[in-house]
Amino acid sequence: MEDKVSVIIPVYNTGKAAVKLILSIVKGAYKKIEVIIVDDGSTDGSTEYLKEFVRQYKLKFRGQNVPELKFFRKENGGASTARNFGLEKATGRYIAFTDSDDSVEKDFYKKMVDAIKKYEDLKSRDLRVALAVSGVHYKRLNTKHEKDIYCNEVKGRMPDESFKEYILRMLYTDGRLYAVSNKLFRADIIKHFNIRFDENMSFAEDTKFTLEYLFAAERVHFSRIEYVLEPLYHYNFGTPTSIVGDSSLSWGNWLKSFRDVENFIGRKRSKRAEKYLHRVFTRWKISHALAVARSRQSFGHKVQHVNIVKLIPAEIIIRFRR
């Protein structure tokens, strides 16, 4: 018997794109899905468009084995508030966060459920899967550049490596743990520990949510990640409603996210954890510089953005010069 997946889709002025996404989900291989559409105070007619679409969908497919659509509207507060609202409405065993202007392959949810349930019959603590992670088809809209990412094998957790150390290693060697959109989460862990998106963040809130989730998962002995090495999630970078591009230019945002990583690892750290933290920090400095370099800002503004030494607290500089 299939387990229900709750797919949470925040929408802000992306009604037509959301309908296209929802139709691809409906036609997909996995049917035990509730699609939770959260309109975050759209102002362009998306609300009416989506409400009518949902009404016609329910009339057409009443009584049939198709995904269930649930539509909600709330005052505008940002993607994090919409996702948190969706979590309150979710009733599935698993949770997926899918952005309205992206898309998924028809077997995305099926393969993700298969991955997270892979060792369920073995009843082994060591094989309890906390999270399923898929590859991504990345498309940069302004340049039309496309590529498949996160489809390569990753080095598994070493025998003498703690779970937190393993996550840190993934953060500096690979980017697939950063976002929530290419993942499948266990709803019971999210609900038991009341894990929510930080509504005061506009950058890397996905990463913070994922780290808090993994921290909680290990506490209840779910400490394995399964990777689906196929580009099943299609991420469109540079959509009109996206704020990622602008928020990534501020080094202060990257530094706040690094503090979330420090909180994840805790104060009592091994030498290996300290080394991994250093590497995460270095990777993010480089990533920030690249984001600035690729932006459309003037040269003068770019120089101001990458002059980050003044923005780095002295204790961090001292720690990583040891």
pLDDT band, residue 321 (cuts 50/70/90): very low
pLDDT score, position 304: 59
Contact between 19 and 55 (Cβ < 8 Å): no
Intervals of CATH 3.90.550.10 along the chain? 5-245
* Exposed e or buried b per residue across 263-293, where buried means at least 16 C-beta atoms within 10 angstroms of its C-beta: ebbeeebeeebeebbbbbbeebbeebeebbe
Determine which helix (DSSP H) or strand (DSSP E) holds 53, and give its type and residue range.
Answer: helix 46-60
- Name the CA dihedral angle for 287, 292, 294, 295, rounded to a multiple of 10 degrees: 140
The pLDDT score that the predictor gives to residue 303 is: 60
Integer-rounded Cα Rg, in Å, for the chain is: 20
In the chain, pLDDT over 90 holds for what percent of residues? Answer: 72
Residue 286 has pLDDT above 80, yes or no: yes
Tokens in use for 233? 């999630």
* 202 DSSP 8-state letter: S
**pLDDT band at 307; cut points 50, 70, 90:** low
- pLDDT of 257 higher than 90: yes
d(CA 54, CA 19): 9
Rounded Cα gap, residues 282 and 64, in angstroms: 53
Neighbours of 128 (CB within 10 A): 19
- Return the CATH number of the domain spanning residue range 5-245: 3.90.550.10
Q: What residues are paired with 134 via a beta bridge?
A: 228
Determine the average pLDDT of the residues in 11-33.
Answer: 93
CB-based contacts of 140: which residues, under 8 Å, 6+ apart? 146, 237, 238
Q: Is the pLDDT of residue 301 over 70?
A: no
CA dihedral 84, 89, 92, 98 (to 10 degrees): -50
The mean pLDDT of 136-144, rounded to a whole number, is 84
Residues shown for the chain: 322
Q: Which uninterrupted H or E stretch holds 134?
A: strand 129-140
- Helix-strand-coil percent breakdown of the chain, rounded to 5? 45, 20, 35
Q: What is the pLDDT of residue 145?
A: 86
Per-residue DSSP letter, 6 = E
Express each pLDDT in 60-114 by its tens digit. 988 888 899 999 999 999 999 999 999 999 999 999 999 999 999 999 999 999 9
- Report the mean per-residue pLDDT for the chain: 89
Residue 175 reports pLDDT greater than 60: yes
> What is the pLDDT confidence band of residue 318, given thresholds at 50, 70 and 90?
very low
Backbone angles phi, psi at 213, to 5 degrees: -65, -45
Mean pLDDT lowest for which of 226-240, 258-272, 289-303?
Answer: 289-303
pLDDT above 50 (res 320): no
Q: State the pLDDT at residue 290.
A: 85
